[in-house]
C-alpha cells in the first residue's frame, strides 16, 4: 500500500494532492448558492471573505472543483457571528470534502459551506501545540499547508485525483463535479509521487463527518473550534510556538478563538446557515 506524502507545504497543482471518487462528489454547489441567496446577510459576509461582490457568488462557486483532502490540512476557517464573518485557524482531517479554486487552494468546506482561505505563513504547523478533539492518527508532523499554483503558469485545467483505495487515480477537469472524470489510470501514469506506508489512506469521500449530506443548512450556533468540526478538525493549538505571535494560533483553530457560530462555523452542518455559514455542500 502506498500513501500520500504528508506534512509541510504542497503545491495546489501537485498530482495526487487530493483524492476523490470517480463520477461522485461530496459537495453540492447548487445547494450552497441557494442557501446564500436566501440569506443575504450571510451571503454578504461569505462574499467578503472570498473578496468578491455578492452578485458574483454563483459564478465563483461554479468555478470551484470538489475534491477530498488526502492529508490533514491547515486552513483559515471562517464562520459567522453577529452579522460578521469570523476567522480562526483550523486543521481539516484527511478524507474531508472541500472545493478548491483554479489554483488548487481549498475555498469551501463542503459539509457546512464555510468559506476557507489560505493559512498565514507565520503559523507553524510543527511548532504549534494543539488542543481539542483529535482523531486517532493525528500528528502535527502530518499537517499540510497548500500553496496555490504559481499564477504565471496559468490556472489548473484538471486535477489528478487518487481514488479511496490509493492504487489508481483519474483526472477531473476544473470546475466539473464528476460527470467529466477521466478513466481510472495507474498512479505511475498520472505522475503521482507516493511513498510506502503502513497507514491506510482515507477511505472515501464521506470519511470524517463530511461524508454525508447534511439534511439542512449548517447551523447558526457557534461551535468551538474543535466542537464545530467534530472529528474533522484537529485540536486547536493551545499555545503558539515562540516564533509565532501569541495571538495567532499556530496551526489549528485557535483555542482562544472559537469558530464563528451563527452562519459560518466549521463543523457539522446546522440547520439554518452555513455551518456557520453557507448552506451544506455535501451530497
Q: pLDDT tens for residues 65-112?
A: 999 999 999 999 999 999 999 999 999 999 999 999 999 999 999 999
**Residue 195 pLDDT:** 53
Q: What is the pTM of this model?
A: 0.72
What is the C-alpha separation between 58 and 148, in angstroms, rounded? 22
**Residue 243 pLDDT:** 30
Phi, psi angle pair for 153, to nearest 5°: -90, -5
DSSP the chain: -EEE--SEEEETT-TTSEE--TT--S--HHHHHHHHHH-HHHHHHHHHHHTS-GGGHHHHHHT-EEEEESS-EEEEEEEEETTEEEEEEEEEPTT-EEEE-TTS-EEEETTT--BEEEPPTT--TTT-EEES---TT--GGG-EEEEPPPGGG---SEEEEE-TTSSEEEEEETT--STT----EETTTTT--EEE-SSPPP--TTTGGGSSPPSSPPPSS---HHHHSTTTSPPEEEE--TTS-TTS-SSSS-SSSPPP-SS--SSS--SSSSTTSSPP---
Q: pLDDT tens for residues 105-148?
A: 999 999 999 999 999 877 878 877 787 788 999 999 999 999 99
**Residue 121 pLDDT:** 79
Report the 10 Å Cβ neighbour count for 245: 11
In this prediction, the residues of the chain whose per-residue pLDDT falls under 70 are 1-5, 194-283
What is the C-alpha separation between 21 and 86, in angstroms, rounded? 32
**Residue ranges of domains in the chain:** 25-142+202-239
**Residue 276 pLDDT:** 45
Amino acid at each position: 500500500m502506498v500513501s500520500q506524502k504528508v506534512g509541510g507545504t504542497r503545491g495546489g497543482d501537485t498530482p495526487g494532492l487530493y483524492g476523490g471518487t470517480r463520477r461522485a462528489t461530496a459537495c453540492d454547489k447548487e445547494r450552497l448558492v441557494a442557501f446564500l441567496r436566501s440569506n443575504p446577510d450571510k451571503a454578504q459576509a461569505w462574499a467578503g471573505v472570498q473578496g468578491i461582490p455578492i452578485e458574483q457568488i454563483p459564478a465563483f462557486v461554479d468555478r470551484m472543483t470538489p475534491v477530498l483532502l488526502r492529508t490533514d490540512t491547515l486552513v483559515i476557517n471562517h464562520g459567522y457571528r453577529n452579522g460578521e464573518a469570523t476567522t480562526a485557524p483550523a486543521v481539516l482531517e484527511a478524507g474531508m470534502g472541500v472545493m478548491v479554486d483554479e489554483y488548487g487552494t481549498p475555498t469551501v468546506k463542503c459539509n457546512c459551506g464555510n468559506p476557507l482561505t489560505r493559512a498565514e505563513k507565520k503559523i507553524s504547523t510543527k511548532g504549534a501545540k494543539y488542543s481539542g478533539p483529535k482523531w486517532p492518527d493525528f500528528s502535527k508532523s502530518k499537517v499540510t499547508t497548500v500553496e496555490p499554483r504559481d499564477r504565471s503558469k496559468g490556472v489548473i485545467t484538471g486535477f489528478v485525483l487518487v481514488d479511496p483505495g490509493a492504487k489508481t487515480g483519474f483526472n477531473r477537469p476544473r470546475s466539473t463535479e464528476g460527470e467529466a472524470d477521466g478513466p481510472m489510470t495507474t498512479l505511475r501514469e498520472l505522475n503521482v509521487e507516493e511513498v510506502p506506508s503502513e497507514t491506510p489512506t482515507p477511505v472515501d469521500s464521506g470519511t470524517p463527518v463530511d461524508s454525508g449530506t447534511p439534511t439542512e443548512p449548517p447551523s447558526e450556533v457557534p461551535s468551538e473550534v474543535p466542537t464545530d468540526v467534530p472529528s474533522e478538525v484537529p485540536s486547536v493549538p493551545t499555545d503558539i510556538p515562540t516564533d509565532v505571535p501569541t495571538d495567532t494560533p499556530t496551526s489549528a483553530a485557535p483555542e482562544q478563538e472559537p469558530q464563528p457560530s451563527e452562519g459560518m462555523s466549521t463543523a457539522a452542518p446546522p440547520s439554518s446557515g452555513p455551518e456557520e455559514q453557507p448552506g451544506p455542500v455535501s451530497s
